[in-house]
């Protein structure tokens, strides 16, 4: 007898403050963006990869990235967030889920994402083992994100388990 077919949806969110740190590159979706600003964080600060990972964990019912990768663990300092995402995708598959896709919206005044969108999608998709789409959204100079003080990302993931009937 086949197990019932299940579809679950997870929502992810992450936000990081932009800072001037010449020793730290700005990483989004696994891609390095030129400029004087970077994202503050315990890992590399990649808010896009973090939101994708959060969405996958939520969909599979596996907690959150703070539980899996605590920012109090010195061994995780500077961690490549695509490695974090690969680990999460492996855990999702080990729990019996198949990743369908992930869609995310990045909210920032700068940098411009369009020139790097395809590469971001490619790197995120490879790490997640499924299609990941990225859209840029400007906050139109509203609030902290509109003043360029940070970058936020929202993500939605679909996972499935079993065989459709």
pLDDT of 165? 73
pLDDT of 164? 81
pTM for this entry: 0.96
Structural domain span for residue 120 = 6-161
pLDDT, averaged across the chain: 95
Is position 82 within any domain?
A: yes
Distance between CA 138 and CA 157 in Å, rounded? 22
Reply yes or no on whether the pLDDT at 1 is more than 70.
Answer: no
Stretch 59-87: mean pLDDT: 95
Is position 22 within any domain?
A: yes
Angle, in degrees to the nearest 10, between helices 81-94 and 47-60 = 10
Count of the separate structural domains present in the chain: 1
Is position 1 within any domain?
A: no
* Closest C-alpha among 52, 67, 138, 136 to residue 99: 52
Domain of 76, CATH number, reads: 3.30.1330.50
The answer to whether 130 touches 97, Cβ cutoff 8 Å, is: no
Cis peptide bond prior to 111, omega within 30° of 0: yes
């Amino acid at each position: 007898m086949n197990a019932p077919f299940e579809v679950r949806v997870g929502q992810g969110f992450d936000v990081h403050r932009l800072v001037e740190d010449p020793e730290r590159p700005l990483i989004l979706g696994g891609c390095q963006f030129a400029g004087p600003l970077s994202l503050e964080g315990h890992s590399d600060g990649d808010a896009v990869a973090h939101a994708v990972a959060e969405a996958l964990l939520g969909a599979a019912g596996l907690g959150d990235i703070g539980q899996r990768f605590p920012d109090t663990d010195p061994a995780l300092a500077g961690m490549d967030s695509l490695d974090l995402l690969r680990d999460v995708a492996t855990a999702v598959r080990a729990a019996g889920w198949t990743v369908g896709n992930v869609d995310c919206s990045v909210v920032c005044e700068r940098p411009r994402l369009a020139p790097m969108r395809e590469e971001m999608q490619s790197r995120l998709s490879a790490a997640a083992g499924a299609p990941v789409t990225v859209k840029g959204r400007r906050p139109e100079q509203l609030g902290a994100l509109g003043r360029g003080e940070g970058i936020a990302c929202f993500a939605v993931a679909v996972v499935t388990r079993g065989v459709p009937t």
